[in-house]
Amino acid sequence: MRIPFIAGNWKMFKTKKEAKEFAEEFRTLYKDTDVRTAICAPFTQLDTLKEAFAGTSIGVGAQNVHFEDEGAFTGEISLPMLKEIGVDYCVIGHSERRQYFNETDETVNLKLKKLLNESDIVPILCVGENLEQREAGREKEIVEGQIRADLAGISADKVASMVIAYEPIWAIGTGKTATPEQAGEMCAVIRGIIEELYDEDTCDRVIIQYGGSVKPENATEIMNMDEIDGALVGGASLIPQKFMDIINS
């Protein structure tokens, strides 16, 4: 049985003060459930959230990590820095990082190996096609290429412990959601690729989320699809009640 997992991605939103206010309100709404929950926040808000969610099952995640421990990499954050804060998750290869910050499958692969080999921090690997690729009917080929390159050299047991988020770029922050069928189909494709690359056990265990304009109004329909184990939620995770409604769905 895979445990459903709903993660919020705050992107570059919320100051420390705003993060504290969110956490206070969210804690009053949150009831311990069977659903795994986490918020992936900007680096400067991670310790605030760790403190605010202490004693609850709400996880805290970063949105990136460098693949070296230290060095002349201005503006970057290392794994030892994240470990010191005690973060539980780390988003890797989000399309906004691939698009605006030159993240490639090669760096994604190095970052995944770093996290999986040297920490217990669970990576949330994001993959997905853009609109042009979807319109050309190339979504499966694109996602397969990303998965093969991103997971190169990573063993089955490590893959089984991670999370993969299928996030069609055309549905992120656009208000355009993939239909439950489109989302379910692609999550099934990803599970099939994992089975082909590894084995049935790994494919049964890996958590596959959908991400792209998930909100309380469409969450139930999406979560009802067999192959979808949860959601990576951007905009709607900024509002405690909306995020809670998605978890409840």
Query: Footprint of ligand PEP on this chain (CB under 6 A)?
Result: 9, 11, 167, 172-173, 211-214, 232-235
Least distance from C-beta 173 to ligand PEP, angstroms? 4
Least distance from C-beta 210 to ligand PEP, angstroms? 9
Q: What is the full DSSP assignment across the chain? A: -PPPEEEEE-TT---HHHHHHHHHHHHHH----SSEEEEE--GGGHHHHHHHTTTSSEEEEES---SSSSSS-TT---HHHHHHHT--EEEES-HHHHHHS---HHHHHHHHHHHHHH--PEEEEEE---HHHHHTT-HHHHHHHHHHHHTTT--HHHHHTSEEEE--GGGSSSS-PPPHHHHHHHHHHHHHHHHHHS-HHHHHHSEEEEESS--HHHHHHHHTSTT--EEEESGGGGSHHHHHHHHH-
Residue nearest to ligand PEP (CB): 234
Which CB, 59 or 234, lies closer to ligand PEP?
234
Which CB, 93 or 212, lies closer to ligand PEP?
212
Which CB, 58 or 126, lies closer to ligand PEP?
126
Which CB, 7 or 58, lies closer to ligand PEP?
7
Beta carbons of 14 and 45 less than 8 angstroms apart = yes
Q: In angstroms, rounded to a whole number, what is the distance separating the alpha carbons of residues 73 and 94? A: 20
Least distance from C-beta 27 to ligand PEP, angstroms? 22
Least distance from C-beta 214 to ligand PEP, angstroms? 5
Catalytic residue, candidates 70, 76, 94, 118:
94
Question: Is 66 tagged catalytic?
Answer: no
Catalytic residue, candidates 103, 129, 139, 167:
167
Least distance from C-beta 69 to ligand PEP, angstroms? 27
Which CB, 123 or 235, lies closer to ligand PEP?
235
Question: Looking at the annotation, which residues are catalytic?
Answer: 94, 167
